[in-house]
């Protein structure tokens, strides 16, 4: 029976992905900064561990407690929207610490066991913001674009050790990370001068023509983790799929 470790399982994509892998019969190690009781079903194949992907000590402790794993899903992420000139550099650094450096750190910590065993898969969850330019999301997009490049390069690097590396690119949904896991208020990051430009964009965010569900993402992660065809990118949700086809 295979074991997957998933980061960022307190809500959203990570939580649904943990449920999905459990339903498929895998052992699941669901990690989150602050474990919460009752959000996942009682199951002998489930363990919930604390993990802050921005802390080297937390990563080492969690992986030691987890033991050998067959798959790593780097899902933990935070979002921010707004005009670049009004986005504090402290917020930009926070976004990169989780979305970029956290993914790299988790991957670096897991690679040795995969390489030695000559098996394993790493699935990095990015965003459809990497597939087409999206206004008011420059910092978030940059943090995710870095992981797109990182993943593509790493796939070549680890291929010789039979370690697979995949990308899942979720589309936009009502619970998207642009509005989740952020302490920045829109009124603080969209100056008055930007209002005429920003208002129709924010209105479109509120009523998207196509949406991606958490189940869409969980299924894409599942397919990516089990894929042996060499496919790198797995768009998740109808809007992400449409962008790939354009």
What confidence tens digit (pLDDT) does each residue in 233-246 have?
Answer: 999 988 888 777 75
Higher pLDDT, 203 or 52: 52
> Confidence band (pLDDT; 50, 70, 90) for 206?
confident
How far, in Å, CA of 123 to CA of 164, rounded? Answer: 8
pLDDT at 103: 98
pLDDT at 243: 78
The mean pLDDT value for 95-124 works out to 98
pLDDT at 239: 82
pLDDT at 174: 61
Q: Is the pLDDT of residue 102 over 80?
A: yes
pLDDT at 13: 96
CB atoms within 10 A of CB 56: 12
Strands 46-50 and 27-32: parallel
How far, in Å, CA of 148 to CA of 142, rounded? Answer: 10
pLDDT at 187: 67
CATH of the domain at 209: 3.40.50.720
How far are the Cα atoms of 5, 31, 89 from residue 142, in angstroms, in the given order? 25, 25, 13
pLDDT tens-digit readout, 163-178: 999 999 999 876 555 5
pLDDT at 143: 98
**Structural domain of residue 231, as residue ranges?**
3-245
Class of residue 242 by CB neighbours under 10 A (exposed 0-12, middle 13-18, buried 19+): middle
Q: Which residues are designated catalytic?
A: 140
pLDDT tens-digit readout, 49-82: 999 999 999 999 999 999 999 999 999 999 999 9
pTM of the model: 0.93
Percent of the chain past pLDDT 90, that is, above it, reads: 73
| Number of compact structural domains in the chain | 1
Q: Is the pLDDT of residue 89 over 70?
A: yes
pLDDT at 50: 98
pLDDT at 190: 84
pLDDT at 179: 52
> Confidence band (pLDDT; 50, 70, 90) for 11?
very high
pLDDT at 183: 60
How far, in Å, CA of 224 to CA of 233, rounded? Answer: 8
Q: Is the pLDDT of residue 181 over 80?
A: no
């Amino acid at each position: 029976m295979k074991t997957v470790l998933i980061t960022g399982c307190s809500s959203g994509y990570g939580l649904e992905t943990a449920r999905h892998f459990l339903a498929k019969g895998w052992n699941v190690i669901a990690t989150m900064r602050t474990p919460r009781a009752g959000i996942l079903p009682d199951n002998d194949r489930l363990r919930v561990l604390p993990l802050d992907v921005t802390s080297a000590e937390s990563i080492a402790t969690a992986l030691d407690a987890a033991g050998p794993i067959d798959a790593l899903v780097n899902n933990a992420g935070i979002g921010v929207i707004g005009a670049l000139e009004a986005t504090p550099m402290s917020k930009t650094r926070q976004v990169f610490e989780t979305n970029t450096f956290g993914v790299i750190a988790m991957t670096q910590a897991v690679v040795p066991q995969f390489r030695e065993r000559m098996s394993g898969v790493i699935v990095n969850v990015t965003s459809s913001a990497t597939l087409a330019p999206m206004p008011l999301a420059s910092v978030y997009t940059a943090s995710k674009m870095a992981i797109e490049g990182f993943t593509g390069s790493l796939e070549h690097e680890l291929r010789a050790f039979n370690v697979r590396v995949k990308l899942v690119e979720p589309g936009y949904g009502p619970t998207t990370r642009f509005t989740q896991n952020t302490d920045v208020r829109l009124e603080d990051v969209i100056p008055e001068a930007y209002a005429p430009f920003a208002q129709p964009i924010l209105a479109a965010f509120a009523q998207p023509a196509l949406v991606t569900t958490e189940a869409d993402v969980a299924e894409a992660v599942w397919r990516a983790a089990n894929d042996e065809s060499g496919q790198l990118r797995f768009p998740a949700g109808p809007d992400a799929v449409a962008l790939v086809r354009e």
